[in-house]
Amino acid sequence: MTNDATAASGHDRWLYLFVAWIIAVAASLAALFIGEVVGQAPCSLCWHQRAFMFPLAVLLAVASFRGDTGIWCYGLPLAAIGMAIAAFHSLLYAGLIPEGIQPCSQGPSCASADMTILGMLPLPYLSLAAFAAIAIALIGSRTKAASLTAV
Instruction: CATH number of the domain at 45, please.
Output: 1.20.1550
Instruction: Please state the domain count of the chain.
Output: 1
Question: pLDDT over 90 for what percent of the chain?
Answer: 46
The pLDDT value recorded for residue 45 is 86
The rounded Cα 119 to chain-centroid distance in angstroms is 22
Q: In this predicted structure, what is the pLDDT of residue 15?
A: 92
Q: Convert the chain into a string of H (helix), E (strand) and C (coil).
A: CCCHHHHHHHHHHHHHHHHHHHHHHHHHHHHHHHHHHCCCCCCHHHHHHHHHHHHHHHHHHHHHHHCCHHHHHHHHHHHHHHHHHHHHHHHHHHCCCCCCCCCCCCCCCCCCHHHEECCCEEHHHHHHHHHHHHHHHHHHHHHHHHHHHHC
Integer Rg of the chain from CA: 18
Range of the structural domain that residue 28 is part of: 4-150
pLDDT tens digits, 27-76: 999 999 988 887 777 888 889 999 999 999 999 999 999 988 889 999 99
